[in-house]
Amino acid sequence: MLILLGIDSEFGTLEGVIAPLYDLKIIKMKKYMFLPIVIILMFIVDISMISGPGFYIFQIFDDYAVTIPLLVIALSQCIAIGWVYGTDKFADDIEFMTGKRPWKFWMFCWKYLSPLAVFIILVWVLVNNIQKGSSYSRYAGCPQFSNSTNATNLATIAWTVSTPYPLWAKFIAGTLVIGTIIPIPIFIIKEWPTNWRQIFKKQFCSGIGNYMPDPAAWEERKLSNNMYEQTYQDEAKC
């Protein structure tokens, strides 16, 4: 079960890396030829993590290739869905595929709760890393036990010590973080619309409805109320 669970998780993760390269026409090679190259390169990197000092290499990847980049990517996705593409359009897509519009609570989460939560966690991680510094857990070796040492005392012994990363390790860690995040500002600049002033004004300065979890439903209700008031006024005149 664990083997199959790991394999099918790797399928989705690898496809998330490969698919954008083909969607953006960055890779022209046939997919069945490109995939083995990527897998072999990843296998070579993974082999280093099961060597003697492999746990230290794993710590670099675990501390810097996952936490900060994943939070930045998640925050960018929340902003893109909630404020750029729009929760109303996203809800329209879900309604088109499932026949049912999402509950407004989920739309509230997409637009407000999720970005705020991810932003708070990201700030906390950055502050914690700055205060703690870049360090790793180094194995301290087997302590010299005396005859009086018992099993209860073993639980209180520190088997590892916090050690600052050397300069080359800091360079690798920085490369992992920057290499993962840098595509986001690059494509933002590349795809920046020429009419961004009009888009910004329409999104943020065209009424309180845009700040609602579901702007489309707000506008529909507002239009319905206007039609009702107009009909009431016409009937009153008659």
* C-alpha–C-alpha distance, residues 194 and 154, integer Å: 66
Interval 95-122: pLDDT, tens: 889 988 888 888 889 889 999 999 999 9
Residue 161: what are its φ and ψ, rounded to 5°? Answer: -130, 145
Average pLDDT over residues 4-33: 86
pLDDT of residue 238: 57
Give the pLDDT of residue 141: 65
Type of residue at 183: P
What pLDDT, on the 0 to 100 scale, is given for residue 76?
92
Residue with tokens 């008659």: 238
| More confidently predicted of 168 and 143 | 168
Give the Cα separation of 140 and 160 in Å (integer): 5
pLDDT, tens digit, 9 for 90 and up, residues 174-233: 898 898 899 899 988 988 888 888 878 877 777 677 777 777 665 555 554 454 455 445
Q: How confident is the model at residue 86 (pLDDT cuts 50, 70, 90)?
A: confident
Q: Which among 109, 172, 180, 185 has a CA at the least distance from the CA of 136?
A: 172
For residue 1, pLDDT beyond 80 = yes
How does pLDDT run across 37-78, given as a tens digit for each residue? 998 998 998 898 888 888 888 888 888 888 888 899 999 999
Contacts of 59 (CB under 8 A, 6+ apart): 136, 137
- The domain spans of the chain are 1-49
pLDDT at 116: 94
Q: Which pLDDT belongs to residue 222?
A: 53
Mean pLDDT of 165-176: 88
* HSE value, Cβ hemisphere, 13 Å, CA-based, for 114: 22
